Structure 1
Amino acid sequence: MPTNDELLLQSMTTLVNSHSKAVSRFGASVVVMSKFIEAVLPLLTAAQIESLLASFRARVGASMQYAEDATMPREFRETMLEQIDLLVHNMQVGHGARDSARP
């Protein structure tokens, strides 16, 4: 019969394995989405990027409101803002580079 310590260790092992799988799946999703964004952004026109930015800002605003209402951890909200800013910046920088390259 397992001792309390052994049962606790088994529970901890199960928990760690479960979280490891979830983090791995999340990480893989982030890599795929990042590569998709890298592939798509250079193909968009300035007008398409402006339209995309407007739509993105509206949608992400709703998500930020949910994060506030659901009292998500501060780190979640901070990371979300950081990633939003990074993506918007990359879209705007790419937009400017394409505009200046065109006659």
Structure 2
Amino acid sequence: MSMFLDAVFPRLTASQCAEITTSLWHGIEDAMSLMADVVLPAEYHSTLLEQTNLLLAELSVMRESH
């Protein structure tokens, strides 16, 4: 996954980064609402949050660098 991101992120425009950020937030919100009734290990939630935050941070850096 990181190799994919390394290949794709440098080619994104600031506008694309903003669109992806919005889309990612909606997707995470949808996933969290679906998981509300499902018992999952705490590690799952912490990993999801960690990976989401990493992606959002990288998108923010890419958006600001353009």
Question: Per the shorter chain, which TM-score range?
Answer: 0.7 to 0.9
Indicate yes or no: 2:44 matched with 1:76.
yes
Structure 2 residues without counterparts, runs of 5 or longer: none
Alignment of 1:1-103 (within 5 A): 33-97=1-65, 99=66
Relative to its length, the structure with more helix (as a share) is 1
Alignment correspondent of 1:25: none
Alignment correspondent of 1:28: none
* Conserved? CA contact 1:42–1:94, under 8 Å: yes
- TM superposition score normalised by structure 1: 0.58
- TM superposition score normalised by structure 2: 0.86
Structure 1 residues without counterparts, runs of 5 or longer: 1-32
* Conserved? CA contact 2:9–2:62, under 8 Å: yes
Q: CA deviation at 1:70?
A: 1.1
- Which contiguous aligned blocks of 4+ residues in structure 1 show a shift greater than 3 angstroms? none
State the secondary structure of the residue aligned to 2:57. Answer: helix
Q: Compare relative contact order (CA 8 Å, sep 6+) and give the higher one, 1 or 2.
A: 2
For the aligned residue pairs, the C-alpha RMSD in angstroms reads 1.2
